[in-house]
Structure 1
Amino acid sequence: MKFKTTLLAAALALGLFGAAHADITVGVVLPLTGPGSGLGIPVKNQIALWPKTLAGENLKVTVLDDATDPTTGVKDTQRLVTEDKVDIIIGSAATPVAIPMADVAAESSTVQLAVSPAGLPPGKDKWTFRLPQSNDVMAYAVVQHMKKQKIKTIGFLGYTDAYGELWLKALTAEADKNGMKIVATERFGRADTSVTAQVLKLTSANPDAILIVASGSGAGMPQKAVMERGYKGKVYQTHAAATQDLMRTAGKDADGTFVVSGPATVAEQLPDSHPSKQQAVAFVQQYEKAYGPGSRNQFAGHGADALTVLEKAVPIALKKAKPGTPEFRAALRDAFETMGRTVLAHGVLNWSAQDHWGYTNETGVMLKVVDGKFKVEQ
């Protein structure tokens, strides 16, 4: 018996029964409650449709609720890297939460796939990659559309947090390049229930267009406020509002609004020549089969794209190290930076060591709300 036991131990040590498998562990931090829940829940729903294995390894996913609160998001992330020892972090869908999460990711040398356009200072995003298009890319699409509409003056109505601030910066830069002027700037909190005072100031400035910077179900309240004041100019919303929640909460007041988005939300309307059409249609068909017609949105698409980039990067990283090790986490980061052109439901991505955004200015798609539905602007 002792001889047999010794032979068995030797065989295991030499790998004669095959290499041992290690789970690939993914930690997900999303706003499932609070003002950002309309963004986080669709991502969670899409992740629930992921396969159980990835590149021949078991896929273990842990989802935590950050409650749209930066402090909670940081605590969730710390738990994932210290207790669960995850190989990668996904989140948050709320920009003010995703930004401080990046510090924990960097300190623990763990890749973060942000599902919000989290702006970080130069050199601070070594471990953070973004799945959404940057505000700069989307502001380019918005201002180019405004240019065609002969817009000269703009009013800004946006969140007081990082998402609002980053959009104001991006809009200002693009407006300056194109001879447009921001004539009024008003801010409000995510939890605010009224923007009447801000809208009165904006409409008194009488801009040609107003850009509303809000997200999910929170985009409807300022939309209604602007329209109820009888504003006759053009109204624009950002890619955080590219969900059915805009029409659900604003009702008829959403009609005629221009919304910038990634291509995934309007998959069937894309020309056959669009590089993302196949991926976008596949995402929509899978998601709406599970959750019902019309349930697609910008953020669910990021959940699908997260799986696509993992399917490409993980096999590369596995050639260098096993999951559950610092070496694998580093190999995964390197794989994202070197995997090259990757077609997603939301556009064509090409991350590099110098660029953890990856999208070009041509990525944004301008939509218009017509009879309660998104239509691609021609």
Structure 2
Amino acid sequence: MKNRLFARARCGGLMGLVMIFSWCLAGSSSAQEPIKIGAFFALSGPAATIGTPTKLVAQMVVDKINKGGGINKRPLELVVGDTESDPTKALMEAKRLVEKEKVVALIGPTRTDEGMAVKSYIEDTAHIPIIMTIGGDPVIAGGKFGPFRWTFKTPQRTTVAVKKVYDYLQSRKLTKIALLTATDGFGKDGLNVLKQLAPEYGLEIVAEEAFAVADTDMTPQLVKIRASGAQGLVCWTIGPAGARVAKNVKQLALTIPLLQCHGQPDPKYIELAGDASEGSIMPSTKLMVVDQLPDTDPQKAVIEEFISLYKDTYHYDQQYPINTHSGYAWDAIYLLANAMRQVGTDPEALRTAIEQTRGYIGISGIYNLTPEDHNGLGTDSMVIVKVEKGKWVLVQP
């Protein structure tokens, strides 16, 4: 009898150990469950030359974080979508990633129009953080553009880029300028800020012309600008249109400085514009001239690590040479990852942690976010560069 009781007790103890071991395995499995981040960019369509390498960088960063142990021992998983450079498709992809894939946060899309198409869904329905990789301000401008509680972005605000351009013009004592801007969302945003800030810098806008991003010849607009008496020309567009403007400027033998926006520092600009790119001036992230930065610059080591991974480890530069857009996804992923390490993946806690980011040293600048500023970069995050002999040269810190 005693032996039977002992055997039963021992059996019960073993069963208890089995149950505890099973619970431990379940807990271990849960701890290893991936954290899903939605990443949707223009992988096809006109903006694919920007969107595709942005996706590659996003995956590169996720790989780096996972090799380092992930987020509190949980790996990141990137769930990718293609916006096809189309606002409607961007919204569809955002909904798919949130509602079907159950991602905890989003990064992307690529163009301002896409971002605006997605924003209301995020703010009114999804209620998860999104860190956009677009240039335009409206997504975090507030006011008539709507709330931006859940919306952040890593590229410099349009206002920051315009201030950098105007600082340069002011330093050269130029007072009369002409504006040539695209009619898409990015161009319109640039035009509004250029006009708004001009008086603060003592600048008079003597000509204001526009073009569609698909236009192949801006000569008629430039002829009017030539007759305006402008001392400098500011062009606001991204992609190949900027190179077409540079070519038309050269063909008309315009001698006034051509200043492009912060979306143009890209080897593709030099390739497409050819000799016409010579002398072009524009604001840029420090990424494009890292070798010309002093060793005391806190961003230099971070940028050099990024370049080493991009070129030497992943060899992305063989197809997509580094440009000013290249670091946007790196910064977006790290802003998310740093916040997740602190608070986990609860949407509200994550949103608050991102908003409280201070002193994050990224590729595009040192980020200090606030409830009022969901970008957190100032003019000190940018430099003025110039094309000289087919190379990017730092002309003004």
What is the TM-score of this pair, normalised by structure 1? 0.91
Q: How far apart are the structure 2 equivalents of 1:70 and 1:292? A: 28
Report what 2:127 is aligned to: 109
Q: Letter of the 2:118 partner, please give it.
A: M
CA shift digits 1:36-94 (9 cap, x unpaired): 22221221221232244221212111222212111111111111111111111111121
1:194-273 alignment, distance < 5 Å: 194-273=217-296
Tell me whether 1:303 sits opposite 2:314 in the alignment: no
Question: Which deviates the most, 145-154 or 12-21?
Answer: 12-21
Match of 1:45 in 2: 56
SS of 2:50's equivalent?
A: helix
Runs of 5+ consecutive residues of structure 1 not aligned to the other structure? none
Contact residue 207 and residue 225 of structure 2 kept, 8 A: yes
Percentage of identical aligned residues: 25
Of stretches 115-124 and 56-65 in structure 1, the one that deviates more from structure 2 is: 115-124
Count of residues in Structure 1 that have an aligned counterpart in Structure 2: 370
Flag structure 2 segments of 5+ consecutive residues without an equivalent. Answer: 1-10
- Corresponding residue of 1:154: 177
Task: Work out the CA distance in 2 between the residues paired with 1:272 and 1:360.
Answer: 21
**Equivalent residue, structure 2, for 1:35:** 46
Instruction: Answer with 56-65 or 230-239: which moved more.
Output: 56-65
Rounded to whole Å, the distance in 2 between the matches of 1:332 and 1:8 is 37
Structure 1 pair 17–152 and aligned structure 2 pair: CA distance change class (3 A): closer
Q: Secondary structure at the match of 2:392?
A: strand
Matched residue SS, 2:60 = coil
8 Å CA contact 1:35–1:190 kept in 2: the answer is no
Q: 1:279 aligns with which of 302, 314, 321?
A: 302
How far the C-alpha of 1:306 sits from its partner, in A, is 2.1
Amino acid at match of 1:329: P
Report how far residue 145 of structure 1 moved: 0.4
Q: Are residues 17 and 150 of structure 1, via their aligned partners in 2, closer, same or farther at CA, if it must alter by over 3 Å?
A: closer
Deviation at 1:348, TM superposition (A): 0.8
Higher relative contact order (CA 8 A, sep 6+): 1
Q: Distance in 2 between matches of 1:197 and 1:345?
A: 39
* Contact 2:215–2:241 (Cα < 8 Å) also in 1: no
| 1:14 CA displacement | 7.2
Specify which of 168, 184, 198 is matched with residue 175 of structure 1.
198
User: Residue 348 of structure 1 aligns with which residue?
Assistant: 366
- For residue 64 of structure 1, give the secondary structure of its aligned residue in structure 2: strand
Q: Secondary structure at the match of 1:211?
A: strand
State the AA in 2 paired with 1:334. Answer: T
3-state SS of the aligned residue for 2:240? helix
The equivalent of 2:391 in structure 1 is 373
Find the partner of 1:292 among 310, 317, 326: 317
Kept in 2: contact 1:42–1:297 (CA 8 A):
no
Deviation, structure 1 residue 213: 1.0
2:7 aligned partner: none
Q: Call closer, same or farther: CA 1:51–1:89 in 2, change over 3 Å.
A: closer
Matched-pair contact (CA < 8 Å) for 2:327–2:364? yes
1:28–1:89: 8 Å Cα contact kept in structure 2?
yes
* Larger-gyration structure (1/2): 2
Q: 1:200 to 1:304 in 2, by over 3 A?
A: same
SS in 1 for 2:227: helix
Give the secondary-structure state (helix, strand or coil) at the position aligned to 2:325: helix
Note if contact 2:176-2:232 (Cα within 8 Å) is conserved in structure 1.
yes
Tell me which residue corresponds to 2:74: 57
SS at match of 1:365: strand
Matches of 1:6 and 1:228 in 2, distance apart?
85
Counterpart AA for 1:82:
E
Distance 2:17 2:308 in 1: 52
Runs (4+) of structure 1 exceeding 4 A deviation are 2-17
Q: 1: CA distance between counterparts of 2:98 and 2:252? A: 49
Give the conservation status (yes or no) of the 8 Å contact 1:210–1:236: yes
Deviations 1:309-362 (A, max 9, x none): 2331111122xxxx5xxxx22222111112322111111101122220101232
Amino acid in the other structure paired with 1:347: G
Q: Which moved more, 1:171-180 or 1:48-57?
A: 48-57
Q: Name the aligned partner's letter for residue 161 of structure 1.
A: D
